[in-house]
Amino acid sequence: MISFIDDHREVYGVELICRVLPIAPSTYYVHAARRVDPDKQPVRARSDAALMIEI
């Protein structure tokens, strides 16, 4: 859903798309911030990423 919102946000806006889809705008913004800054990822996700290198 995040990529769909990214693709259509210029036309409809994030809030309108989120109102139609079952997602809160704050959830979209959190995920968008995490994609830009990996340091904002949850500790578990960062740990998993580090372990994937070893695996």
- pLDDT for 46: 87
Contact 1, 23 (CB under 8 A): yes
pLDDT score at 55: 85
Q: How many helices (H) and strands (E) does the chain have?
A: 4, 0
Q: Which domain holds residue 44?
A: 2-54
pTM, two decimal places: 0.71
What pLDDT is stored for residue 49 in this prediction? 86
Q: What is the pLDDT of residues 9-52, one digit of tens each?
A: 999 999 999 999 999 999 999 999 998 888 888 999 889 988 99
| Count: domains in the chain | 1
Q: What confidence score (pLDDT) does residue 38 get?
A: 83
CA nearest neighbour of 18 among 28, 3, 31: 28
The pLDDT of residue 20: 95
